[in-house]
Amino acid sequence: MSSVGHGRNRASRRAAILLDYVRRTEVGRDDRASYDVIYANKQGKLPKPLTSMTIGEIVDAQRVWSKIFILLLVGCASTASPDDPRLIWCDHNQPRRDATEATPRAELDRINAHNRLGTSWCGWKPWPELTS
């Protein structure tokens, strides 16, 4: 065996030791199926087990994982698909009707921008008294 191949085998063994350590630490299991576990146990949302996916399929799936991870960080319990962040925004927001005569101009601008998004993305209706 060449020295290159020998070095690669040693590196592979070291990588396997590291992967086994991570698997036991993160998943808490030692069986082969534990390699298919992904963050937050969302592997059931994949079309097939992680270990049978191609690199391209994994990269595509990671786009969804990233969105799910962000939603989990902010405590999102939305039932909307992470593929459509607008629907998630709609699940977590409602029209703002809190402006008064004393509301500063900058806050009015924020309220109006918020309500414009809701009208565009969520189908909110304008103030009832303005439409009659």
Which pTM does this prediction carry?
0.39
> In 3D, which of 132, 101, 95 has the Cα closest to residue 117?
95
Contact present, 38 and 65 (Cβ < 8 Å): yes
Q: Residue range 70-78: average pLDDT?
A: 57
Tell whether the model's pLDDT for residue 127 goes beyond 90.
no
Question: What is the rounded CA–CA span in Å between residue 5 and residue 9?
Answer: 6
Digit-coded pLDDT (tens) for 13-40: 888 888 788 778 877 777 777 777 775 6
Tell whether the model's pLDDT for residue 122 goes beyond 80.
yes
Domain boundaries, the chain: 1-37, 40-80, 93-132
